[in-house]
C-alpha cells in the first residue's frame, strides 16, 4: 500500500511570499510617499531659489549665491551625495535632457535640483534609494522703456459707448509698420462712414464691435474682442517747471525773457525770441507778414492763446510750450508754413489747431523727459486737437491727447505723419490721403518697471 508524500511546509512558503509582498507594498507606500514628499519639497525649493536669483539679478547682485543660499536653506546642500543643485543663466537642458524653451535668453534663470532619498523598507526588495529631479525657471526682466499701447499707430482710448473712430468724406488712410487700436467696448466701437479705403500693416484691434456705412474698404485683419486697457491710463508725464524772474522787454525786434502781460505782433518784419524762460498771462497774437524765430525757449502761457494768423511764419528749435491755468492753447491759422524742430507742446489747458493752406513741419525733441513727445494733452483737458490742412504736413513724434477728441482733415495729401496718434476719439474727415508711418524710434516710450516671474 502506497502512502502520499507529506505536504507539510507548503503553507510556510506561501506565508513567506505573502510577507515579501506585504513588505513590497509597505515599501511602495512608505518609501514612495517619502520620495513624493521630497519631490514636492524640492520643487518648492527650486521655485524659491529661481525667484531669489531673479530678484538678485534685477538688483545687480550675485544671483548664483542667492539661488544656492535659498536651496541650502531648504535642505539641498549641493553635496553631490544627497543633492545636486544646478543654476544656469540662460537655461540649458532640463531634467528630461530636452533643451529648455528659454535656452539662450539671458532674461531667464534655471534651477535644477537632483535629490537622493534613502529608503526604509526598499532594501528588502533590493531598492536602497530613490531619485528625484525637479526644475524651475524664473524670468528677471530689467526695467525698460516700451512703446505706448504696444506700438499701435492710431489709438482711440474712449472706454465705452460708441467710440467714433469715424470717417466722413473721401478718405484714404494708410497705417504703415503698425495698426489701429480702439479701446471702446461699444457695439460700434469702430464706426466707419463714407467713401473710405483703410489699410494697416498689422491689424485693427477693437475691444467692441466694428460698424461700417457706405463704400468702405478695409485692408488688414479686423480683430474684435481685444483686451481693454485701463482708462484713464497711468501715464505720468511731469508738467514743465518754468519760472520767470523780472519783466521781459522788447529791444528792436528781439524779445527778451521774463514776465509779460501779453505780446501782440502785427507790424511786418523779422522778430526773435531770445533764449530763456517766458511767462505770459494774456496770450500771444501774431498776424500780418511776420517771420518769428524762437530758439532755446521755454514758454508758459497762463491765459489767452498763442495765435498765429495771416502770412506769418514761425521757425523754432528746442522750444517747450506749456499752456496751463486759463490759457486757451495754441492755434496755427496762417498761410505760411511753420517749421519747428525739437519742440514739445504741453497743453494742460486749451486746444490745439493746425489750420491753413500750407505745410507745417514739427519734430519732437529727442532728449529729456519729453523725448519724442510732440503734443501732450493730459487727462482733465477735454479740449480738441485739430489738424486741418490743404497740403502735406511733416509731423514727427507722438501726439498723445488722453481725454481730447482728435480730428485730422483736409482736402489733399497729408502724408508726413511719422507719429503715433493717441486720442480719446479719432476722426479722419474731408477729402484727404493720410499716411501714418509708425516708427518706434520716433515716438514716445513709457517706463516699464522691472519684473520677476516664475514661468516654469
Q: What is the 3-state secondary structure (H, E, C) of 280-338?
A: ECCCEEECCCEEEEEEEEEEEEEEEEEEECCCCEEEEEEEEEEEEEEEEEEEECCCCCC
Interhelix angle 10-58/63-73, rounded to 10 degrees, is: 150
The average confidence (pLDDT) of the chain is 88
Assign 25 a pLDDT band (cuts: 50, 70, 90): low
Domain borders along the chain are 22-142, 146-448
pLDDT computed for residue 375 by the predictor: 97
pLDDT value, residue 118 = 85
Q: Does an H or E element contain 42, and which?
A: helix 10-58
- What's the pLDDT score for residue 18? 62
What is the per-residue pLDDT for 6?
53
Q: How confident is the model at residue 450 (pLDDT cuts 50, 70, 90)?
A: confident
User: What is the band of 121 on the pLDDT scale with cuts at 50, 70, 90?
Assistant: low
pLDDT for the residue 433: 77
Which residue would you say has higher pLDDT here, 170 or 204? 204
182 close to 427: Cβ distance less than 8 angstroms:
no
Express as a percent the part of the chain with pLDDT over 70: 87
Residue 125 has pLDDT above 70, yes or no: no
User: Which of the four pLDDT bands, split at 50, 70 and 90, describes residue 246?
Assistant: very high
For residue range 403-413, list pLDDT tens digits in order.
999 998 765 55
Q: Does residue 186 contact residue 161 with C-beta atoms inside 8 Å?
A: yes
Segment 320-376, tens digit of pLDDT: 999 999 999 999 887 777 899 999 999 999 999 987 666 788 999 999 999 999 999
Is the distance from CB of 342 to CB of 320 less than 8 angstroms? no
pLDDT score of 161? 76
Q: Is 34 left (phi over 0), alpha (psi -120 to 50) or beta?
A: alpha
pLDDT tens digits, one per residue of 376-425? 999 999 999 998 765 567 889 999 999 999 998 765 555 578 999 999 99
Q: How remote is the C-alpha of 224 from its chain's centroid?
A: 20
pLDDT band per the 50, 70, 90 thresholds, residue 293: very high
pLDDT at 26 (0 to 100): 59
SS3 category, 249: strand
Q: Does residue 168 register a pLDDT over 70?
A: no
Q: How far is CA 452 from CA 106, 142, 147, 149, in A?
A: 13, 9, 20, 21
pLDDT band for position 10 (50/70/90)?
A: low
Q: Select the more confidently predicted residue: 332 or 179.
A: 179
Over residues 140-152, the pLDDT tens digits come to 988 888 999 999 9
How confident is the model over 68-100, as pLDDT tens digits?
Answer: 999 999 999 999 999 999 999 999 999 999 999
Query: What pLDDT is recorded for position 412?
Result: 53
For residue 36, the model assigns a pLDDT of: 87
**What are the φ and ψ backbone dihedral angles of 54, each rounded to 5 degrees?**
-65, -45
Amino acid at each position: 500500500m502506497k502512502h502520499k508524500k507529506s505536504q507539510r511546509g507548503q503553507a510556510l512558503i506561501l506565508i513567506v511570499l505573502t510577507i515579501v509582498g506585504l513588505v513590497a507594498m509597505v515599501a511602495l507606500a512608505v518609501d514612495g510617499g517619502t520620495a513624493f514628499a521630497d519631490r514636492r519639497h524640492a520643487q518648492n525649493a527650486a521655485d524659491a531659489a529661481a525667484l531669489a536669483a531673479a530678484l538678485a539679478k534685477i538688483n545687480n547682485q550675485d544671483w548664483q549665491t542667492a539661488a544656492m543660499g535659498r536651496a541650502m536653506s531648504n535642505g539641498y546642500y549641493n553635496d553631490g551625495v544627497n543633492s545636486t543643485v544646478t543654476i544656469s543663466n540662460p537655461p540649458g537642458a532640463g531634467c528630461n535632457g530636452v533643451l529648455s524653451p528659454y535656452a539662450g535668453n539671458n532674461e531667464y534663470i534655471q534651477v535644477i535640483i537632483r535629490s537622493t532619498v534613502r529608503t526604509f523598507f526598499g532594501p528588502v526588495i533590493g531598492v536602497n534609494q530613490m531619485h528625484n529631479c525637479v526644475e524651475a525657471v524664473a524670468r528677471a526682466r530689467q526695467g525698460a522703456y516700451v512703446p505706448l499701447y504696444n506700438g499701435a499707430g492710431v489709438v482711440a482710448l474712449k472706454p465705452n459707448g460708441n467710440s467714433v473712430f469715424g470717417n466722413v468724406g473721401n478718405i484714404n488712410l494708410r497705417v504703415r509698420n503698425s495698426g489701429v487700436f480702439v479701446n471702446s467696448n461699444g457695439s460700434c466701437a469702430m464706426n466707419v462712414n463714407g467713401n473710405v479705403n483703410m489699410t494697416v500693416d498689422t491689424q485693427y484691434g477693437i475691444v467692441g464691435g466694428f460698424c461700417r456705412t457706405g463704400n468702405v474698404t478695409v485692408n488688414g485683419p479686423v480683430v474684435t474682442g481685444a483686451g481693454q486697457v485701463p482708462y484713464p491710463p497711468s501715464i505720468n508725464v511731469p508738467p514743465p517747471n518754468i519760472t520767470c524772474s523780472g519783466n521781459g522787454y522788447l529791444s528792436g525786434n528781439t524779445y527778451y525773457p521774463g514776465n509779460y502781460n501779453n505780446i501782440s505782433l502785427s507790424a511786418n518784419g523779422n522778430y526773435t525770441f531770445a533764449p530763456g524762460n517766458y511767462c505770459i498771462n494774456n496770450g500771444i497774437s501774431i498776424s500780418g507778414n511776420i517771420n518769428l524765430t524762437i530758439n532755446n525757449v521755454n514758454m508758459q502761457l497762463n491765459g489767452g492763446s498763442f495765435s498765429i494768423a495771416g502770412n506769418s511764419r514761425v521757425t523754432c528749435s528746442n522750444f517747450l510750450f506749456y499752456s496751463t491755468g486759463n490759457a486757451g492753447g495754441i492755434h496755427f491759422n496762417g498761410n505760411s508754413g511753420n517749421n519747428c524742430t525739437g519742440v514739445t507742446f504741453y497743453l494742460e489747458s486749451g486746444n490745439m489747431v493746425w489750420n491753413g493752406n500750407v505745410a507745417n513741419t514739427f519734430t519732437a525733441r529727442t532728449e529729456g523727459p519729453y523725448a519724442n513727445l510732440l503734443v501732450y494733452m493730459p487727462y482733465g483737458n477735454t479740449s480738441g486737437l485739430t489738424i486741418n490742412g490743404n497740403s502735406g504736413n511733416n509731423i514727427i513724434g507722438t501726439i498723445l491727447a488722453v481725454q481730447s477728441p482728435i480730428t485730422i482733415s483736409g482736402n489733399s495729401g497729408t502724408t508726413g505723419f511719422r507719429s503715433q496718434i493717441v486720442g480719446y476719439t479719432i476722426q479722419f474727415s474731408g477729402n484727404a490721403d493720410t499716411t501714418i508711418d509708425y516708427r518706434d524710434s520716433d515716438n514716445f516710450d513709457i517706463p516699464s518697471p522691472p519684473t520677476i516671474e516664475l514661468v516654469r
